[in-house]
């Protein structure tokens, strides 16, 4: 079943725009403020870890400092955003959406059988508030690292901070509930989020009518498309901009399975989705513009504590992207897409050098060519995206 708003006319093809009712959105990949990053913030949680090789979160701080030099903890709450904060203040996107891959809790009841556990002290939530984040996607493979208590405290902390949570809840109904954000001039943005087993989300984490958890989907089936459409019924209105945020796929590699591409197309054709916000991969992947709708198959990590840890240098996971799609609010069509490249250094986001930006452009062009997408490096170091 298709929501009523999915039949909106897309308008003429192209990458230009400028409609009076345009909405600009900030999207990025995984934001991992736990472990090492939590330890440099003003209110670090107990650093005890239960990993095979690391038992103290401060070890990740030491590794990063050995690579890049002293960080000087404690840092200010807005420190981690670095140059990205200036970009956000300049662009002033209406919606600021991140995948928060960290439990915000002091719970010590870790999820047994899972080796890696991310948590940030609730008092450090100001690092998200300071960046003006509107909504955090929680349908991922770290949000229940510290059990049901950790998830429930995360939900309470975000709510008190005035930040919406998508894709997880106190029960299945709440986890499946779309987040509704004001887009100005009577417009609205709806955000629906799902987590998949291909990204490491345990099936036991699926929310049920009685237990907390994530909004879980098992595969790219027709039934999954119907479920998205049904979740939007009774919520989406004509003229709403609909974003679906998906945590799916492995951590490394540029391959995008054909079934995932077909699934993304069906979400647009049959469920009326306007933007697909994909994440899980630790590096960015190719992107597509299908029927004037943006599909990000893998945004890559945006902020993490991996600095100084080797093994995947060929993917340059230290290089991250800020995605700024501009959409015609009347039609849901993408009118422009600008990317801003960043680099993680000292656990903060710095503007990437022009040489690194050129490398990103090369990779994006190579991986997006199959979709008819062209990425152009601009004089100011940002990237403009064009499509056929």
DSSP letter, residue 206: B
Residue 292 and residue 355: Cα distance in Å, rounded? Answer: 30
Give the model confidence (pLDDT) of 272-293 as tens digits.
999 999 999 999 999 999 999 9
CATH of the domain at 375: 3.60.21.10
pTM of the model: 0.94
Pinpoint the alpha helices (H) of the chain: 36-40, 58-68, 83-91, 126-129, 147-161, 172-175, 222-232, 258-271, 354-368
Residue 230 and residue 134: Cα distance in Å, rounded? Answer: 24
**CB-based contact 134:100 (threshold 8 Å):** no
Q: Which residues touch 370 (CB under 8 Å, ≥6 apart)?
A: 286
Q: Give me the pLDDT at residue 11, please.
A: 42
How far does Cα 359 stand from its chain's mean position?
A: 22
Q: Give me the pLDDT at residue 358, please.
A: 98
Q: Give me the pLDDT at residue 63, please.
A: 98
Helices 258-271 and 222-232 sit at what angle, rounded to 10 degrees? 30
User: Residue 118: which domain range?
Assistant: 4-387
Residue 139 and residue 161: Cα distance in Å, rounded? Answer: 19
Residue 283 and residue 321: Cα distance in Å, rounded? Answer: 9
Range list of β-strands (E), 227-378: 241-247, 275-279, 287-290, 293-296, 301-303, 319-328, 334-345, 348-351, 373-377
DSSP letter, residue 90: H
Q: Give me the pLDDT at residue 20, please.
A: 54
Q: Give me the pLDDT at residue 236, please.
A: 86
- The torsion of the CA quartet 150, 26, 246, 359, rounded to 10 degrees, works out to -110
**CB-based contact 326:292 (threshold 8 Å):** no
The number of distinct structural domains making up the chain is 1
Give the HSE-up count for residue 289: Cα atoms under 13 Å, Cβ half-sphere: 22
Query: In the chain, which stretches have pLDDT less than 50?
Result: 1-19
């Amino acid at each position: 079943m298709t929501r009523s708003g999915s039949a909106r006319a897309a308008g003429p093809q192209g990458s230009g725009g400028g409609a009076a009712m345009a909405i600009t959105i900030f999207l990025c990949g995984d934001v991992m403020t736990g472990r090492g990053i939590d330890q440099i913030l003003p209110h670090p949680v107990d650093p005890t870890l239960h990993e095979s090789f690391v038992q103290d979160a401060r070890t990740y701080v030491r590794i990063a400092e050995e690579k890049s030099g002293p960080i000087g903890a404690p840092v200010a709450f807005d420190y981690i955003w670095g140059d990205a904060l200036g970009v956000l203040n300049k662009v002033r996107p209406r919606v600021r959406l991140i995948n928060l891959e960290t439990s915000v809790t002091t719970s010590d009841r870790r999820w047994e059988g899972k080796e890696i556990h991310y948590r940030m002290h609730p008092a450090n939530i100001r690092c998200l508030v300071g960046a003006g984040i509107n909504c955090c996607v929680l349908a991922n493979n770290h949000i229940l690292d510290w059990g049901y208590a950790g998830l429930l405290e995360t939900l309470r902390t975000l709510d008190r901070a005035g930040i919406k949570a998508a894709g997880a809840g106190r029960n299945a109904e709440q986890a499946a509930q779309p987040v509704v954000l004001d887009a100005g001039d009577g417009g609205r943005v709806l955000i629906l989020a799902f987590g998949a087993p291909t990204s490491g989300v345990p099936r036991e984490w699926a929310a049920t009518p009685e237990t907390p958890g994530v909004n879980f989907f098992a595969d790219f089936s027709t039934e999954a498309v119907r479920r998205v459409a049904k979740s939007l019924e009774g919520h989406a209105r004509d003229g709403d901009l609909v974003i679906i945020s998906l945590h799916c796929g492995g951590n490394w590699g540029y391959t995008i399975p054909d079934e995932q591409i077909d699934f993304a197309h069906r979400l647009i054709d049959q469920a009326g989705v306007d933007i697909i916000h994909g994440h899980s991969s630790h590096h960015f992947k190719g992107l597509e513009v299908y029927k004037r709708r943006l599909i990000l198959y893998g945004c890559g990590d945006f902020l993490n504590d991996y600095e100084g840890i080797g093994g995947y240098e060929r993917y340059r996971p230290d290089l991250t992207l800020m995605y700024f799609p501009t959409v015609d609010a009347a039609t849901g069509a993408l009118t422009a897409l600008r990317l801003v490249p960043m680099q993680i250094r000292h656990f903060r986001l710095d503007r990437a050098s022009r040489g690194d930006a050129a490398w990103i452009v090369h990779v994006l062009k190579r991986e997006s060519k199959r979709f008819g997408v062209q990425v152009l490096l601009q004089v100011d170091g940002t990237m403009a995206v064009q499509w056929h």
